[in-house]
Structure 1
Amino acid sequence: MTEQNTRLGIMLMIATTFVFAMQDGISRHLAGEYNVFMVIMIRYWFFAAFVMSVAARKAGGLRAAAKTSQPVLQAFRAVLLVTEICVMVLAFTLLGLIESHAVFTCYPLLIAALSGPVLGEKVGWRRWSAIGVGFIGVLIILQPGFGVFRIEAIVPLIAALMFALYGLLTRYAARKDSTATSFFWTGTVGSVAMTSVGIWFWEPMTAPDWGWMGLLCITGALGHWLLIRCYEVAEASAVQPFAYLQLVFVSVLGIVVFSETIRTNVAIGAAMIVAAGLFTLWRERQNRRA
């Protein structure tokens, strides 16, 4: 039964990464035509509606989902995530999908590096070595000092740092709150925060792009639903390595749809980051077993 659940979890994680890759491609298209804040705002309206509909169907309804003893932490998490999404979508328009994701892939290493000071977890020398290798990979992608470094390359790195902090705060919040509560606050507070900014950047949208916007909203909700189901049926440590497939799906999308290319340094750096990330996940799993 456990083996079947793990297999199902892996399939759900692969489906999740594919849906999120499609979402990133649509986000890149829309953010290239319209203001980033407006695009993310509309996406979050649908996300908030999805979160509230899920919460309303569970025991206790919306009141139970919203109940928390750490509202400031939950609100900060929500605002941090929506800000990270804006930064990452901006990176898509500046660097393209492939290079943005190649840099962003380092976020699990950032989580490992920050888990000590933020959560008080012990990080051994093996994981510190893997973190070091991963960041050498980031430097190979960014190429500082080689005359081709662009300041825009820092944007996805900032997004990765923000997402890593969001992940750590989510783990910290989980000590007192359920996943349903954290999910509820992420969608509702994020929507309010994004609306307070995005409403000032409203632009008229063409009918075809409203269709793409609708698809963006659907992929967002579907991706989160698949991820929730994935973690419900399998251990996170068993399925997390397959999350790196998003880089593969995004690369294919970037090449086929947006005519992007994969530079040699980006391929080498991304391979080092993924290898270091996989090693870090393996060490974490070994430590939990011990």
Structure 2
Amino acid sequence: MLLVPLMDGTAKILVADYPVAQVVWGRYAFNLLTLLPLFLLLRQRLRFSRTRFSLQLSRALFLLGDTALFFAALFFIPLANGKAVFFASPLIMTALAPLMLGERVGRHRWAAVLIGFTGTLFILKPEASGLSIGYALALGSAFLYALYLLMTRKLSSSAPPLMSLLYTALFGTLIMSLFLPFHWVMPDGRGWALLVATGALGTISHFCIIKALEIGSASQLAPFSYAEIISATLFGLVVFGNFPDMATWTGISIVVASGLYILHRENRRQRPEQETSTST
């Protein structure tokens, strides 16, 4: 999660000079190119299967929509502020887990979700019109990312992590290539380097996410997303000179506290189950 804001930070630099569609294409195209050597390094075979193909496609579309909306949001708002809004995704994921995964969410975690959403009100404070558009795009991105994580969890037992990542990169590249003729500006050397960096960081970070979701439950892992604020704030401060204001930090604190409480309740719920399994 510390690496994801670095990918988004390179995208924010790029969207200032290149169309969003082209930047999204670069994120997936170079994600695909940097992913293939991993198959050789880890001695994995390419095994495409029609099993649960519709779920793989849905998962890829959720992440593609998330990426497009968030990169577009970064044209309007600072990186750390965008990540602050994006922190609603673990709360959304916890709220949707019963519906999509059949995971039980008790009343304490529901209360934490509702309190966490009040924290987003501090982040989504009235702003200038351009910033409001950016915050709306970031919130839509958070919703799609929550769906992506839930779909990843659902697919974790039916596809190797690298294959899941390959499906996502392949679908994203093919779909965005359709838009490329209408949204293309020839990059200079710096532009190409940033496009490659965006794709490579996407490969590494999302491979780690997929591996994590193989082991832990969606609601248990959700709070780790908050680690993004560390690198997002540092990147935004060093590269763009932006630092979140007090209202934004207040909102972040409420959302993070809610997420950590959800993790606490999840651990308490799982402990008796593990003891029962051990004694059996």
Query: Normalising TM by the smaller chain, what interval?
Result: 0.7 to 0.9
Residue in 2 aligned with 1:21? 5
- Which of 58, 63, 68 is residue 86 of structure 1 equivalent to? 68
Question: Aligned partners of 1:238, 1:124: CA distance in 2, in Å?
Answer: 13
**SS, match of residue 186 in structure 1:** helix
Does structure 2 retain, via aligned residues, the 8 Å contact 1:106–1:277? no
Distance 1:224 1:151, change over 3 A: closer
Distance 1:261 1:162, change over 3 A: same
- Which of 37, 40, 63 is residue 21 of structure 2 equivalent to? 37
Question: Aligned partners of 2:29, 2:10: CA distance in 1, in Å?
Answer: 17
Q: Does 1:276 align with 2:264?
A: no
What letter corresponds to residue 148 of structure 2 in structure 1? Answer: Y
Question: Aligned partners of 2:84, 2:247: CA distance in 1, in Å?
Answer: 10
- Which of 24, 45, 49 is residue 67 of structure 1 equivalent to? 49
| Structure 2 gaps, min length 5 | 273-280
Cα deviation, 1:264-286, whole Å, max 9, x if unaligned, reads 11110011111111111222233
Question: Aligned partners of 2:22, 2:264: CA distance in 1, in Å?
Answer: 40
Q: Does 1:265 align with 2:247?
A: yes
Question: Aligned partners of 2:41, 2:128: CA distance in 1, in Å?
Answer: 56
What pairs up with 1:96-107 in 2 under 5 angstroms? Answer: 96-107=78-89
Identity of paired residues, percent?
28
Distance 1:226 1:169, change over 3 A: closer
Distance 1:286 1:229, change over 3 A: same
Question: Aligned partners of 2:209, 2:30: CA distance in 1, in Å?
Answer: 17
Question: Aligned partners of 1:36, 1:111: CA distance in 2, in Å?
Answer: 26
Does structure 2 retain, via aligned residues, the 8 Å contact 1:113–1:128? yes
**SS, match of residue 201 in structure 2:** helix
Residue in 2 aligned with 1:204? 186
Deviation at 1:74, TM superposition (A): 0.7
Does structure 2 retain, via aligned residues, the 8 Å contact 1:51–1:188? no
What letter corresponds to residue 218 of structure 1 in structure 2? Answer: A
What letter corresponds to residue 150 of structure 1 in structure 2? Answer: S
What letter corresponds to residue 252 of structure 2 in structure 1? Answer: A
Question: Aligned partners of 1:254, 1:185: CA distance in 2, in Å?
Answer: 31
Does structure 2 retain, via aligned residues, the 8 Å contact 1:81–1:162? yes
What pairs up with 1:113-128 in 2 under 5 angstroms? Answer: 113-128=95-110
- What's the TM-score, normalizing by structure 1? 0.83
Number of equivalent positions: 270
Deviation at 1:139, TM superposition (A): 1.2
CA RMSD of aligned residues (A): 2.7
Question: Aligned partners of 1:76, 1:240: CA distance in 2, in Å?
Answer: 20
Question: Aligned partners of 1:82, 1:101: CA distance in 2, in Å?
Answer: 17
**SS, match of residue 166 in structure 1:** helix
Does structure 1 retain, via aligned residues, the 8 Å contact 2:26–2:196? no
Question: Aligned partners of 1:60, 1:217: CA distance in 2, in Å?
Answer: 20
Distance 1:59 1:254, change over 3 A: closer
What letter corresponds to residue 111 of structure 2 in structure 1? Answer: S
